[in-house]
Structure 1
Amino acid sequence: VKLRKIQKLGANPSEEELRSILQIRTRIDKVAIKDAKLRTFITQDYARDDMVAHEYDVTNGTVKQGVDNLVMIDDSIVRGTTLKKSIIRMLDRLKPKKIVIVSSAPQIRFPDCYGIDMAKLGDFIAFQAAIELIKDRGMEMILDDVYLKCQNQASAPKEQVKNYVKEIFEPFTADEISAKISQMLRPKDINAEVEIIYQTIEGLHEACPENLGDWYFTGDYPTPGGNKVVNRAFINYMEGKNVRAY
């Protein structure tokens, strides 16, 4: 931003003009306040939607209406429930020009089977976005093909099972999926533009070089059982079974 402003000044900017640009700083304020007693991620499915409406509150007077871009950092975006039903609506009441949600974790695309309650593919907003892109582009044959592959190896020894669900995401870039997520999570009745930005896999590895557990994001499970779980999760999704894959 500073570079663009300086370039617009031309060949002979004044010292005052340069100083005014160089003094531009990102403002950091406590805009959203969370009730520490509430945690939607570990709440049972039937109660989660009701809880998100009561989890956050805002600090008024911190945003210049129609001028400021409001950037919020989240540790991860799994379902997107809290964003769509609470946070984005709440932030829009402050009337920012744009709302940017930055996830420090990459897109969570695959179930976990090692202790975290993330077992249903249909819950993941990244998976939902990939499905919507497939439908938008008339590529539904991919779903049938992956479903058949998963069924064909459902009874195979886990050591022989391959993660075919990766093929759901292969036609799209991470940016395309992020753009679709932004579209899906933006409530229709708000005014601000919404953009959701995710950490990249490469950025994650650079930030955490000693901790390479990335199977939620890449589908590269550390044990053969992970592939069996993800394929079962996809079969459940295709058959309309709202149950966990393990």
Structure 2
Amino acid sequence: MTAASDVGHDSSRTTVVEPNASPLQQPIQTRRMCAWCEGPIPTRARRDSVCCSTRCRQARHRFGRAAGKPVAETDGRPLRLAYADPPYPGTARLYRGHRDYAGEVDHAALIRRLSTYDGWALSTSAAALPAVLALCPPGIRVAAWHRGERPNVSRWPLNAWEPVIYSGGRPVDPSRLEQSLQTRRVDSLVHGVAPMTTLPGRVIGAKPAAFCRWLFDLLGAAPGDLLDDLFPGSGAVARAWAAYTKADPAKPRAA
């Protein structure tokens, strides 16, 4: 039997208390949770481990690296930003089994809600773009994500890009940027997609970390800003935002 004083501060171990100890003297037993999949970290793991396995540790590292760091610098006024990645018009049936499923999205109401933010972005499909643009206020812009075509047999050219409608945000002073490809903001992203098999809770249409980084740059996001992900889905955008703004996306938690 191990005395409580011998355990120290290693939260991955279970503290053993003498049978005659009163309930008030018994410490709360905790288990460390994985910062990626939120499963329990094995008790045999190192004391400084934040992930439950090599697979989760590598996935978390790759995702955080792809999320990058802000191009814009905070100007002392935090912005309220929002991103919406709803089921694209006519495709809500694909999400029927998701816990947030509510049928087809009212895009007119959604755009009115987005317009209350300092900056916002909305993902949609190339086919739905004309109808969605007709609902938007003046001054919006359209960016393009070239994700590559999805293998399929079709009589028509395969779709290989998705539009992102965006508005507002923070302008960036070019004189304060390093003039390099890594710091220039562009309204087009070429980044292919692959099955995100290591992303916990992944859903159809989950966006990769590189897309999230590009999206944040479009809006001139900076640490201190607030981002509302209106259709969280798999939670990938929130993970990328935490990494992008230098917060820890999921610190080990007690369960």
Range of TM-score over shorter length? under 0.3
TM-score (norm 2): 0.19
Structure with a larger share of its residues in helix: 1
Q: Which has the larger radius of gyration?
A: 2
TM-score (norm 1): 0.20
